Chains A and B, each alone.
Chain A
Amino acid sequence: DTGVSQDPRHKITKRGQNVTFRCDPISEHNRLYWYRQTLGQGPEFLTYFQNEAQLEKSRLLSDRFSAERPKGSFSTLEIQRTEQGDSAMYLCASSFSSGGSTDTQYFGPGTRLTVL
């Protein structure tokens, strides 16, 4: 079990550019979450997948953000036309849910985005 991995770890981009982040969850986990953390705050929920289906999106996720999880494995988070306010740490987490009880979410190391 190698844990949740994210790529890249750091991304610096200019305002208006598009960026894409990747998350590889723990292999047997069927749930995948994206969170965003800004300075001095706790992580905030963005969206979640159950297998390949995106079942919930936060109002924080504007139409410039899109996430996918093809085949229920890895996930990508794309931000189009980046703005300086998008600068944050983007965290991915995964868990296994059998439906019977709440399962622990395990986080990846995060992708630090800086928009200049």
Chain B
Amino acid sequence: DQQVKQNSPSLSVQEGRISILNCDYTNSMFDYFLWYKKYPAEGPTFLISISSIKDKNEDGRFTVFLNKSAKHLSLHIVPSQPGDSAVYFCAATAWGGSEKLVFGKGTKLTVNP
């Protein structure tokens, strides 16, 4: 039973346009959400996170939106750059205990020049 779902395996956008990556979760206990970026043969690199007490967090070109009632979050990248091409993973955790991360399967983003 997948608790974190990224339903789009891939996304292709033009350089300079907006990239929107989506993520849904099912576990109501999750209260902290993260996005990681991964290049082939490397470990995931932390991008941005959001706590359940917020509905938006922004860091430069990256903004994460959280809709708790819909159990949905999205990552917006504006403007998209070719160097953003990678696999993006959504992850969720619950405060307390191990705080282990539960990941989605990832979305491969391709930004075309």
Binding site for B on A (CB under 8 A): 4, 6, 31, 33, 35, 40-45, 48, 55-56, 91, 93, 95, 97, 101-110, 112
Check A101–B95 contact: CB distance below 8 A. yes
Instruction: Give the CA-CA distance A6 to B36 in the complex, in Å.
Output: 19
Check B49–A107 contact: CB distance below 8 A. no
Check B103–A42 contact: CB distance below 8 A. yes
Chain B, residue nearest A110 (CB): B43
Nearest CB of B to A36, in Å: 11
The tally of CB-CB contacts under 8 A between chains A and B is: 66
Q: Does chain A have a CB within 8 A of B112?
A: no
Contacts of A33 in B (CB 8 A): 98, 100-101
Check B98–A112 contact: CB distance below 8 A. no
Nearest CB of B to A17, in Å: 23
Check B95–A56 contact: CB distance below 8 A. no
Contact with A along B74-113 (1 / 0, CB 8 A): 0000000000000001010101011111111110000000
Contacts of B102 in A (CB 8 A): 45
Check A43–B99 contact: CB distance below 8 A. no
Selected from A43, A95, A102, A109, the residue in CB contact (under 8 A) with B51 is A102
Nearest CB of B to A51, in Å: 13
Nearest CB of B to A46, in Å: 9
